[in-house]
Amino acid sequence: MPRVFLVVLDSVGIGGAPDAHLFFNHDTPDTGANTVGHIAEACANGTGDKEGLRAGPLHLPNLTRLGLGKAVELASGAVPPNLETESVAGRYAAASEVSNGKDTPSGHWEIAGVPVPFDWGYFPDTKPAFPDDLMHDFISQAGLPGTLCNEHGSGTVVIAEYGLEHIASGKPIVYTSADSVLQIAAHEEHFGLERLYEICKVARKLIDPLNIGRVIARPFVGETVETFKRTPNRKDYAVPPPEPTVLNRVQDAGNRVIALGKLGDIFAMHGIDEVRKVPGIEPLFDVLMGTLEGEKAAQDGDLVFANFVEFDSEFGHRRNIPGYADALERFDRQLPRFMDAMKEGDLLMLTADHGNDPSWVGTDHTRERVPVLMLAKDLEPGSAGVRTTFADIGETAAKWLGLPAGKHGTSIL
């Protein structure tokens, strides 16, 4: 019996989105953004070097062997430096997104077979960003003395700017971004982690009429600007997908969906049986290995759906090219462990949910195609071309597991 391991490398886009000109970072369209391609170019010319971290050309031998360089070529027309290969071990493709957003829920839902059929609500890039009546009701219903920030901002920047005032006043830091999101930062100890979660639930109810995709709790610790640090206890409060996804089809067949990382929050726990969540690329890869073999391994017919968020949260949004390159190389070094332990009937699928080009202007996601890299013992390697929707990824997983086909995509198999 088959198993599927669907792994999202959060924000590892490969450029070439045909509608990139319709999406912006500030006033700059995303035309030409290419997360993997620009990281590889920076590493080739030395601007991807950082003393004590990494140096030299981007070194991804295992992802390259699975077809990453060739997927970038499909998406953007050229193989990035040092990702060239004569032959590949896996089936590869490039996929375009049809959902009208470059955000986390849109990308993941479409990967799971359900493109977003509506436009999200967004908060304007003004100060204040949030409507007065929304903030009044939030403060009243959450029992708060007020809020801080109330504008677009980077999470680390707003904590540095407002953290001390937050500790002194008890007012949470409320901010947004170009995504459909309301984010709330608060100190885990001075404000309280559970209290932060509770006020996020209040905010979630209040913004439902505005069609905002997520409320995100952003806890942090530290006592000074220099020591403030966000913790792994982030929690997303998302609206559920608009219709059943491939996750629900797995459950309907009597099997389980094991979510790794922040997947449970992204799907509002719809179609998910168990969440296993740890911070860091290597620790989460260890958890992924535990779903492949051992006492907690996935069983026949199960779907393991993982999200490695650090590429996006730690390096893409912070426009950190050396850090992003190092993260990709660290992930690549882990891959042989998984590939060598795969059993007959196992399908590994590596993909992404959007781009976040660290060489780009601004700090927001970039509209890009994503790679689809597949490996199984009996899967013939080679190109599967450019796919017109991420939903083909979910339909491929469904076909491998012998599930009924959905209505939004076509299996690559």
Q: Return the CA Rg of the chain.
A: 21
pLDDT score at 1 = 76
The residue among 402, 366, 303, 353 whose CA lies nearest residue 25 is 366
**DSSP labels, 157-196:** HHHHHHHHHHHHH-PPEEEE-SSSEEEEEEEIIIIIHHHH
pLDDT over threshold 90, residue 178: no
Q: What integer is the mean pLDDT of 83-107?
A: 96
Q: What integer is the mean pLDDT of 305-331?
A: 97
Q: What integer is the mean pLDDT of 3-26?
A: 97
For residue 144, what are its two tokens? 């708060």
Task: Measure the CA–CA gap between 98 and 174, rounded to whole angstroms.
Answer: 30
The residue among 381, 374, 382 whose CA lies nearest residue 400 is 374
pLDDT in tens, 104-144: 999 999 999 999 988 999 999 999 999 999 999 999 999 99
Per-position b or e across 290-311, b if 16+ CB within 10 A of its CB: bbbeeeeebeebbbbbbbbbbb
Centroid of chain to Cα 242: 19
pLDDT score at 26 = 87
**φ, ψ at 88 (rounded to 5°):** -125, 155
Task: Measure the CA–CA gap between 183 and 237, rounded to whole angstroms.
Answer: 10
pLDDT in tens, 192-223: 999 999 999 999 999 999 999 999 999 999 99
pLDDT score at 25 = 94
Which secondary-structure segment (H or E) carries 339? helix 321-341
